[in-house]
Chains A and B, each alone.
Chain A
Amino acid sequence: MENAKKLEAFQAKIDADIKIEPKDWMPEKYRRTLIRQISQHAHSEVIGMQPEGNWLTRAPSLRSKKILMAKIQDEAGHGLYLYCAAETLGIKREQFLEWLHEGKAKYSSVFNYPTLTWADIGAIGWLVDGAAIVNQVSLQGTSYGPYSRAMVKICMEESFHQRQGYEIMVTLANGTKEQKEMAQDALNRWWWPSIMMFGPHDADSAHSNQSLKWKIKRESNDELRQKFIDKTVEQGEHIGLSFPDPDLKWNKSSGHYEYGKINWNEFWNVVKGYGPGNKKRLAHHKDAHEEGSWVRQGAIAYAKKKRSIQKTA
Chain B
Amino acid sequence: MNQSLYEYCLRLGDTPLILSQRIGEYCSKAPHLEEDLAITNVGLDLLGQAENFLTYAASLKEELTADELAFKRKEKDFRSFHLVEVPNIDFAYVLVRQFFIDVYHNLFYTSLCNSKDETIAGISKKSIKEVRYHLQRSQDWIIRLGQGTEESNHRLQVTINELWMYIDELFYDNEIDNEMTKEGIGVSNREIKNNWFNIVTDTLNDAGLSSPENIPYTLQYGKDGFHTEYMGYLLAEMQHLPLLYPDAKW
Q: Which residues of A contact B (CB under 8 A)?
A: 46, 49-50, 53, 56-58, 60-66, 69-70, 72-73, 76-77, 79-80, 83, 118, 171, 175-176, 178-179, 284-285, 288-289, 291-302, 305
Report whether B90 and A305 are in contact in the complex, using a CB–CB cutoff of 8 Å: no
> Counting CB contacts under 8 A, is B71 at the interface?
yes
Is the contact region of chain B dominated by helix, strand, or loop, or is it mixed?
helix
Q: Report the minimum CB–CB distance from A170 to chain B (whole Å).
A: 12
- Encode B45-73 as 1/0 by CB contact (under 8 A) with A: 00110110010000000000011001100
Report whether A292 and B27 are in contact in the complex, using a CB–CB cutoff of 8 Å: no
* Residues of chain A within 8 A of B213, CB atoms compared: none
CA A77 – CA B34 in complex, angstroms? 8
Report whether A70 and B144 are in contact in the complex, using a CB–CB cutoff of 8 Å: no
**How many residues belonging to B are interface residues under a CB distance threshold of 8 Å?**
48
Report whether B27 and A301 are in contact in the complex, using a CB–CB cutoff of 8 Å: no
Report whether B70 and A62 are in contact in the complex, using a CB–CB cutoff of 8 Å: yes
Q: Which of A61, A289, A291 contacts B250 (CB under 8 A)? A: A61
New A-B contacts (14) at CB < 8 Å, excluding given A76-B36, A302-B145? A46-B33, A57-B21, A57-B238, A58-B237, A60-B242, A60-B248, A60-B250, A66-B47, A69-B43, A69-B44, A79-B33, A80-B33, A284-B28, A288-B28
CA A296 – CA B71 in complex, angstroms? 37
Q: Would you mind naming 25 contact pairs between A and B with Cβ atoms under 8 Å apart?
A: A53-B24, A56-B25, A60-B248, A60-B250, A61-B242, A62-B54, A62-B67, A65-B47, A69-B43, A72-B40, A80-B33, A80-B37, A179-B245, A284-B28, A285-B28, A288-B29, A294-B155, A296-B31, A297-B152, A298-B144, A298-B151, A299-B148, A301-B149, A302-B147, A305-B147
Q: Which of B30, B71, B151, B152 contacts A288 (CB under 8 A)? A: B30
Q: Which of A73, A175, A285 has the most CB of B within 10 A?
A: A73
Do A73 and B37 contact each other (CB < 8 Å), given the known contacts A56-B24, A65-B24, A302-B144?
A: yes
